[in-house]
């Protein structure tokens, strides 16, 4: 093959000189035509081609520096087998590759030793934290020394995890990580080539391509690089397992169907919402339930807390961050301690039995500053106690199940970041009529009275300034009717009971009073079956 026929040379269209291919002529500076692609030659029997390696063009390099060093070896071996490089040049280049790779490998080994040391420390700290969590779950009282040690270990764990991320980042920055991204496919092809080269080495010595001494050098280097790639596979697996372990939430060991059956027997007509909620609780995720007033959300939280443990906490506009965290009560009677354990402190100290779940009702009524405290607890599994200024850590399994009403007369504007910390937001529907009938069945109300109650509930629900009729009030109506059944056989007395029990003004003003009178008139005009 002449130089003119080689793809490495081209004739300059300006000075007609035969020059190595570059973007411009080395003699006159004129632009050179694009490099011609060589004709595809089928490999001889038993010979490997570069096809399938993942990178066939020298202008395309792997992402990792170490992977590049391995690809260089493949290209050099292929050039030698094609007799396109002399034995002397091959030996010189290959030894340079070994020297360059050795420096990077030693640097990588230093990183791996540091990585292993940090992993061991993380495992020890996690083990000690796990033991403390078990002691707290078993009912051991959390003393001040216990909480201080727990906080110290949590801080140490956070620092070690930051060190782990730093070491991995430095490895990637220096190109010392193998088998990540597109390099994984390249590395698999390189590994196959190296194993084939090991079997070809004796034949290459026989063909005069390698000296026996150089054959030993190449064999030792290929084996060392194969060991390096095998270690890289184990390293990638370890990283994946660690990331999955950090990202995965441990499931709560509960029977979904058994819990659903028990809760649904108390909160009827919402089986689908309850089922979706239980799945999130099992994943230890934060859940927000949004729905109309009086449809069983509070009862749901109470029933869950009764069976799973944790803390039930009802919010209002006066709840401050101190009350949420420490239970501070500045209005305590003289002689009583104004500071007691609040919702979060009870979970942090282990005073709350069962699962570390905060069941928070009417959560949207929290003040913005108080929402920040709860946001910190949900996000970092820690909070700052405004009473003593200390940082307290919650169990890793801590989660929040919150509920809030969808109000028609006010517009809630919760912080977007606060809402984002709820992994699930479940819309709670209205209780179906058949579920209402089932709830009232134990009180043996006449069918006409049940139909009347369902009609009143529906009519009041359409009004803007009246409080929607809750299932709780329907049951109270049924209880009083059952207790004074003889009295309420009188139609007039029954209508008075309906007005007293089910008409409540949401807004005490002229508009609320007008709707109240309108609803009362509708009830009095009701046509009985």
Q: What does the pLDDT look like over 125-150, one tens digit per residue?
A: 988 888 887 887 776 766 778 877 88
- The answer to whether 274 and 301 have CB atoms below 8 angstroms apart is no
Could you tell me the two tokens for 154? 């949590």
Residue 213: how many CB atoms within 10 A of its CB? 10
Res. 449 pLDDT band, cuts 50 70 90: very high
Evaluate if pTM is beyond 0.85.
no
What average pLDDT is seen over the chain?
Answer: 80
pLDDT in tens, 142-178: 677 887 788 888 888 888 887 887 787 777 766 666 6
**In terms of C-beta distances under 8 Å and separation of at least 24 residues, what long-range contacts does 160-167 make, across chains too?**
160/118, 160/121, 160/122, 160/125, 161/122, 163/118, 164/115, 164/118, 164/119, 164/122, 167/111, 167/114, 167/115, 167/118
Distance between first and last Cα of the chain: 107
Cβ neighbourhood burial of 365 (10 Å; 0-12, 13-18, 19+): middle
Cα–Cα distance for residue pair 69/87, rounded to 1 Å: 20
- Helices of type H across 361-415: 368-380
pLDDT in tens, 328-360: 544 444 444 444 577 888 888 877 778 889 999
More confidently predicted of 456 and 21: 456
pLDDT at 283 over 50: yes
CA distances from residue 393 to 384, 385, 406, 416 in whole angstroms, order as listed: 9, 10, 32, 24
pLDDT at 425 over 90: yes
pLDDT at 70 over 50: yes
CA 220 to chain centre: 45
pLDDT at 121 over 80: yes
Could you tell me the two tokens for 388? 């003593």
**Percent share of the chain, pLDDT over 90:** 25
Residue 4: how many CB atoms within 10 A of its CB? 9
In the predicted model, what is the mean pLDDT of residues 404-410?
68
Which range, 169-178, 233-242, 270-279, 304-313, has the best average confidence (pLDDT)? 270-279
Query: Can you give the pLDDT at residue 119?
Result: 87
Cα–Cα distance for residue pair 276/271, rounded to 1 Å: 9
- Residue among 223, 234, 124, 222 at smallest CA distance from 179: 234
- Domains (ranges, CATH) in the chain? 1-39 (2.30.30), 65-247 (no CATH), 256-427 (3.40.50.300), 433-524 (no CATH)
pLDDT at 38 over 60: no
């Amino acid at each position: 093959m002449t130089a003119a026929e080689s793809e490495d040379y081209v004739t300059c269209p300006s000075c007609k000189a035969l020059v190595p291919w570059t973007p411009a002529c080395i003699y006159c500076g004129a632009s050179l035509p694009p490099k011609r692609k060589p004709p595809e030659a089928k490999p001889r029997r038993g010979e490997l081609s570069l096809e399938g390696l993942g990178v066939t063009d020298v202008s395309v390099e792997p992402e990792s520096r170490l992977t590049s060093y391995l690809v260089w070896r493949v290209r050099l071996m292929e050039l030698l087998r094609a007799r396109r490089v002399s034995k002397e040049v091959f030996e010189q280049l290959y030894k340079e590759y070994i020297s360059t790779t050795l420096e990077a490998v030693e640097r990588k080994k230093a990183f791996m030793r540091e990585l292993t040391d940090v992993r061991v420390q993380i495992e020890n700290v996690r083990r000690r934290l796990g033991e403390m969590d078990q002691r707290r779950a078993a009912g051991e009282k959390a003393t001040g020394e216990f909480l201080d040690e727990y906080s110290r270990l949590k801080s140490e764990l956070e620092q070690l995890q930051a060190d782990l991320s730093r070491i991995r980042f430095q490895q990637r920055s220096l190109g010392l990580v193998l088998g990540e991204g597109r390099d994984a496919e390249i590395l698999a092809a390189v590994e196959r080539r190296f194993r084939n080269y090991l079997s070809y080495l004796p034949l290459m010595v026989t063909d005069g391509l390698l000296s026996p001494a150089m054959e030993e050098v190449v064999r030792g280097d290929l084996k060392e690089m194969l060991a390096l790639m095998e270690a890289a596979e184990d390293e990638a697996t370890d990283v994946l397992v660690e990331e999955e372990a950090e990202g995965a939430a441990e499931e709560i060991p509960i029977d979904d169907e058994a819990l659903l059956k028990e809760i649904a027997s108390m909160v009827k007509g919402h089986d689908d919402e309850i089922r979706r909620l239980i799945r999130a609780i099992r994943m230890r995720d934060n859940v927000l339930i949004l729905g109309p007033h009086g449809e069983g959300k509070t009862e749901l939280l109470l029933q869950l807390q009764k069976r799973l443990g944790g803390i039930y906490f009802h919010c209002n506009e006066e709840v401050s961050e101190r009350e949420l965290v420490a239970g501070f009560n500045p209005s305590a009677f003289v002689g009583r301690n104004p500071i007691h354990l609040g919702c979060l402190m009870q979970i942090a100290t282990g005073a709350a039995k069962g699962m570390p779940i905060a069941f928070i009702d009417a959560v949207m009524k929290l003040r913005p500053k108080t929402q920040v405290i709860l946001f910190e607890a949900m996000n970092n599994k820690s909070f700052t106690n405004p009473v003593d200024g200390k940082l307290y850590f919650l169990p890793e399994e801590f989660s929040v199940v919150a509920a809030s009403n969808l109000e028609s007369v006010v517009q809630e504007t919760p912080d977007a970041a606060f809402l984002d910390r709820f992994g699930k937001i479940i819309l709670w529907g209205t209780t179906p009529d058949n579920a209402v009938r089932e709830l009232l069945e134990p009180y043996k109300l006449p069918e006409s009275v049940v139909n009347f109650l369902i009609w009143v509930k529906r009519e009041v629900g359409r009004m803007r300034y009246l409080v929607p009729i809750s299932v709780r009030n329907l049951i109270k109506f049924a209880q009083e009717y059952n207790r004074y059944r003889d009295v309420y056989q009188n139609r007039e007395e029954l209508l008075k009971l309906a007005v007293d029990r089910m008409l409540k003004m949401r807004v005490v003003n002229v508009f609320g009073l007008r709707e109240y009178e309108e609803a009362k008139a509708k009830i009095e005009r009701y046509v009985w079956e």
